[in-house]
Amino acid sequence: MSDDELSSTLILRRALFLLLLFGLMLFYLAPGFKGLTHYKGKEQAQIARELARNGSFQTKMIRPLSLHQADQNNEDLDGVHLVGFHDTYHAPLNPMINSLVMRFFKGKNDFKWDRKDTVYYLDRVITATSIIFLLASIGITFLFISRVFDAKIGGVTAVLMLLCELLWRFSQTGLPQMLMLFLFTLGSYLVFRAVEAQCMERKPIWFLLFSALCFGLLALTNWLAVWPFVGLVIFSCFYFKPRGTAAFSMLAVFLVIILPWCLRNLITSGSIFGSGYYAMFGGMGAFEEEIYRTYNRAAGNIFAEGFASKVLKTSLNQLNGIYAFLGSIAVAPLFFISLLHPFKRPQIAAFRWFILAMWIPAVIGMSLFGLDMGSADPNQLHLLFIPLMTGYGIAMLAILWSRIGIAPSMKTFADNGHLWIAIALSTVPMILNLIPGVPRALGGEKEKPTQGLLVSHIRESAEPEEVVVTDSPWDVAWYGDRTSLWLPTTKSQLREIMKRTEKNNNPISGILITRESLRKPLAYLIYGNEKEWGSLILGQNIFMAGASRSKVQPKSWMPSGKGLINSFEGLPFTEPDQKMSSMGYFYYTNPNK
């Protein structure tokens, strides 16, 4: 093939790649987009909006346990104020970056949703930011894998990442995984450059220090990312010379990055980990929701029964579902087979052990913190290893393919057949997702009101200085732009919280029950941790049964509504809000507020 033909083929491939890239971007930001898909993504989004407004890391979504933790560390007898509450649950970097982007879209109405569209416009802004980090990660991966192996393997790895449905799905959640992928890939690239320098008997220290900077920023994006860095430091102690010096230097840089925020958490909550510390116990037998909805939980009760079995089950689920956790990319699991192959280049042979050294602690961390939502869980760290494991997997597949002995007459298939097969198998999840989504994206289906659109009306029913108690505080905080308290597990805890808020001018305006509770099983509502609110939630279920109605007349639901009011057992929320009730949401307010 002549140089002109090679040039034309290369240009065509790159043009097709860019066309596919922009097509997917438009699809995932098209009218079929229904907003942020994960509640923790909405939490981080509303923190970012508060940062863009006033420059303070405040949250409008308050966990009862976080409130108690802050009260215990506050000298004011009245307790901390709920409006303007400082968040200590989330890592700061993702909200900070999103806040910088949001500043360009503040407008004249201070981020107010005009409801002309069924999707909040900032949802698309945040998703677009995540997609930019995804594309940047793909670019770094191409350069990275091309340096490790060759441009062909680097190009195929980039294509497989572009067609990975899991990565695009995470870009719509509002979670920081795409930012994490960017930082992890960049940090790993710098580690590989350090390995190269070591093999060539050059000093690797500067590459390692900059990689530690990336991993420090990664930890400020998700605290769970500390685990792979622990593996990196341990392996560096044995690999880089002089022994221990490089690892100690990396650890020093890492601590310089994260300690200021840890100190801020210590001052605010009394713990360097903030309230995020208790998230670990969600993987140790108890449920994270149950833990954070408890206002005054004794430390001894956090370790619920089943600690060992739940950690073991999560570990086994990770191993059994490694294909899905690695984005359903067919060749990625072949990385583990590549550990048995004697690569000739020492840097390639050595770097795979660095990958394994980071992956094993990550698995341990995910087992401790839990992966209740499987491959789409916020604690999912396997996806960070997708570029590296895919690159090694393709290289291993090429080695195995070359030993099949395909006839010389089929040269094209012999050279590239394994790559075509890998791409075809890995795009199945993407295709299955695109097929039902295309009619929505093209406007073939009528847009229905989203939950975010309906909940946003709470801002007309609650004043900015008031607090709404709800089962969906992330929606109230993000779409309704009102301070919200996650519904405590018991009524006595809510009374205790109301008593401590009487003097700080942040009254609780009412209790809002959304469709979030409709997803909970009946047994959980009657016998489980929701039993004290069961009558209220069951009333919501009965109310929503049958044909949907555009408007609910007060006379049709007031008799049962009065029965639900009596179930509050002395709580002052006796006035049903007409507007929210007409949309199918129970919002009981205090008429004497």
Measured between alpha carbons, how far apart are the two ends of the chain, in Å? 81
Residue 81's contacts (CB-CB under 8 Å, 6 or more residues apart) are: 504, 505, 506
Give me the pLDDT at residue 315, please: 87
User: 85: closest CA among 98, 97, 99, 74?
Assistant: 74
Spans of all domains in the chain: 39-119+450-589, 124-441
Q: Which pLDDT tens digits describe the chain residue by residue (593 residues)?
A: 555 555 667 777 778 888 888 888 888 887 668 889 999 999 999 999 999 999 899 999 999 999 988 888 877 766 688 888 999 999 999 999 999 999 999 888 889 988 888 899 999 999 999 999 999 999 999 999 999 999 999 999 999 999 999 999 999 999 999 999 999 999 999 999 999 999 998 999 999 999 999 999 999 999 999 999 999 999 999 999 888 899 999 999 999 999 999 999 999 888 898 888 887 766 555 578 888 998 876 555 455 556 777 788 888 899 999 999 999 999 999 999 999 999 999 999 999 999 999 999 999 999 988 888 888 899 999 999 999 999 999 999 999 998 887 767 777 777 788 889 999 999 988 888 777 766 665 655 566 788 888 899 999 888 889 999 999 999 999 999 999 999 998 888 998 888 877 777 788 888 998 877 777 777 777 777 778 887 777 765 555 554 444 444 444 444 555 556 566 666 788 777 878 877 778 888 877 76
Confidence at residue 521, expressed as pLDDT on a 0 to 100 scale: 78
Residue 88's CB is within 10 A of a number of other CB atoms, namely 27
List of residues 6+ apart from 217 with CB closer than 8 A: 93, 183, 257
User: Would you tell me the crossing angle of helices 428-441 and 411-426 to the nearest 10 degrees?
Assistant: 60
Q: Give me Rg for the CA atoms of the chain.
A: 26
The Cα angle at residue 53 between residues 50 and 58, in degrees rounded to 5: 25
| Residue 520, SS3 per DSSP | coil
Report in angstroms the alpha-carbon separations of 18 from 29, 166, 182, 352, 391: 17, 20, 19, 30, 21
Give the pTM.
0.91
**Residues 6+ positions from 561 with CB-CB distance below 8 Å:** 539, 576, 581, 586
CB count, 10 Å around CB of 385? 24
502, 481, 476, 507: which is closest to 587 by C-alpha?
476
Residue type, 433: N
Q: What single-letter amino acid sits at 567?
A: S
Backbone CA torsion sign across 190, 196, 200, 205: positive
Contact yes or no for 583/515 (Cβ under 8 A) = no
342: left (phi over 0), alpha (psi -120 to 50) or beta: beta
386 close to 377: Cβ distance less than 8 angstroms: no
Q: Cα–Cα–Cα angle for 539, 542, 546, nearest 5°?
A: 160
CA torsion sign for 368, 372, 373, 375 is positive
- Encoded tokens for 337: 């087979």
- Angle, alpha carbons 513-514-515 (nearest 5°): 135
For every residue of 546-590, DSSP letters joined together read: SS--S---HHHHHHHHHHHHHTTTT-S--EE-HHHHHTT-EEEE-
Q: Which residues, other chains included, contact 334 with Cβ-Cβ below 8 Å and sequence gap of 6+? A: 392, 393, 394, 396, 397
Nearest alpha carbon to residue 99 among 35, 51, 46: 51
Q: Where are the beta strands (DSSP E) in 264-410?
A: none
Residue 287: helix, strand or coil by DSSP?
A: coil
